[in-house]
Structure 1
């Protein structure tokens, strides 16, 4: 990952101004740790470690997941990045595109199908789209301009352009996006089981820990007062299985999706009413949250 040294990337740059955070990165280079293990290794309280982990997670350097432990749930923390390059001159970041990869960004409002239940709604960077908690407005022609959408249960589905030609086939599929749970207003402790599917095949279910709104998202418009940002997650399907932020979630391999030239790809994000944690979905585009990107899809040949 390359990062321009600019004020827009202070969330990332500030992560390395703390000895504690750097020591945490050193530890997680060896293996994943839970909050308690990091606290014990560094001789600090769990509350302090949690604050540092939140900064690293918001910067996209660390990934976390809630797992069942002997004394309730525990948060497992692991490195999300293998390397990070600081770019001092913007011209140094200019590279030729990888000829073995096909990448497309899907605006969050350009879904092709949906089924949602309140609380729900859509917003562009300038205003609300339609009325709150009325699923009918997901059909509003203005939905394509949405940079934020949310729903308590149901799904949104996107058509991924397939630019494969001839005998080309996919060796990997990567989808990165910013999302979180959906609670009325917001609730930082609001778990939600969010399922990702491609072409009707469920690939992974990730439990988001909350709906984040206690502080403003870096790119969230000043007029917006509810959910502020999400967590940046990367879903990867390879020959070895399906992963989220490098952690394997299922054995489904890229070959099982049978991605070929001329075949439509359908990507669905859902929260089922039957889920253990039916906590909804909030999905962020480049105009909201902490990451200036839409849903980014990369197919590797």
Structure 2
């Protein structure tokens, strides 16, 4: 389930749904897996036009593709990536919940352990060289807009601006993510895990490393056949558990992660013993399709006993 709101970052989703053709594609894929040629025949359109529509649905996280053995050959098949979409409208002015928001650039990690293939870049140039983890210590990495690695993790310290009288109700973390394949590969699953303050909050399997078309905000100098964009994912930790795009990841709730401290520690990575060790690409401002860094939002209410 995709859990969206009125943030501009969700515009690609709403744009993808604002088309009779793309809605027809979603309806067709709800019935069975189909390749572009089959979709084109069903819709009475050219394969080139259908390919364009499928890519918009992929960017929105509604459709994914993978190679499937069929009728003695291997075919690139399209399928639905999600079962539903929910849209959260802004809270009414009278609602009690308030929010603190912090934006954290992808290069502001405080600890890491990464393995090739790996790299880091600003919107102007590569930081160091490809596949050399030593450059993850380069001071210029603080300006990075993208980083990637084959396995390992990066860890961030996030300031906690809650006051003693403010009780946290939920925490949301929004970021653009993808796998990390040698080159690019839309069918390259990777089990990406998340931890907060040492508590494992869950795992999400990224479908692939997207690069067949350029990212909306890819710098001009950025090569065509490398990581271009990911999928916008929103993690929400609330009282009854942890969710990603509304889909439950674990039973770790807001009361289990120790938010009563001056800062929080967020770790994201790919474990060596994961089922799918397909790497990780983290997109920040100036890269990908959403043009923003990682966003942390803590929702709180004032305690009557504060």
- What is the TM-score of this pair, normalised by structure 2? 0.77
Give me the whole-angstrom Cα distance separating, in 2, the residues matched to 1:47 and 1:204.
Answer: 41
* Alignment CA distance shift 1:47-1:292 (3 Å): farther
The aligned residue for residue 69 of structure 1 is: none
Give me the whole-angstrom Cα distance separating, in 1, the residues matched to 2:158 and 2:7.
Answer: 27
Name stretches of at least 5 consecutive residues in structure 2 with no aligned partner: 44-49, 67-78, 301-306
Q: Which moved more, 1:133-142 or 1:50-59?
A: 50-59
The aligned residue for residue 294 of structure 1 is: 293
Give me the whole-angstrom Cα distance separating, in 2, the residues matched to 1:107 and 1:48.
Answer: 44
User: Do the aligned residues in 1 keep the contact of 2:25 with 2:39 (CA within 8 Å)?
Assistant: no
User: Do the aligned residues in 1 keep the contact of 2:153 with 2:270 (CA within 8 Å)?
Assistant: yes
> What is the count of residue pairs matched by the alignment?
269
Q: Trace 1:29-68 onto structure 2 (pairs within 5 A).
A: 35-37=29-31, 45=39, 54-59=55-60, 62=62
The aligned residue for residue 70 of structure 1 is: none
Name stretches of at least 5 consecutive residues in structure 1 with no aligned partner: 28-33, 67-73, 86-94
- Secondary structure, counterpart of 2:87 in structure 1: coil
Q: CA deviation at 1:270?
A: 0.7
CA RMSD of aligned residues (A): 3.3
- Secondary structure, counterpart of 2:82 in structure 1: strand
Give me the whole-angstrom Cα distance separating, in 2, the residues matched to 1:47 and 1:104.
Answer: 48
The aligned residue for residue 156 of structure 1 is: 154
The aligned residue for residue 243 of structure 2 is: 243
- Secondary structure, counterpart of 1:248 in structure 2: strand
Provide, for residues 252-286 of structure 1, a one-character-per-residue CA deviation record: whole Å limited to 9, x for no partner: 111111211x3421000010111110000000001
Counterpart of 2:222 (choices 201, 221, 224) is 224
The aligned residue for residue 171 of structure 1 is: 169
* Alignment CA distance shift 1:56-1:190 (3 Å): same
Give me the whole-angstrom Cα distance separating, in 1, the residues matched to 2:287 and 2:15.
Answer: 21
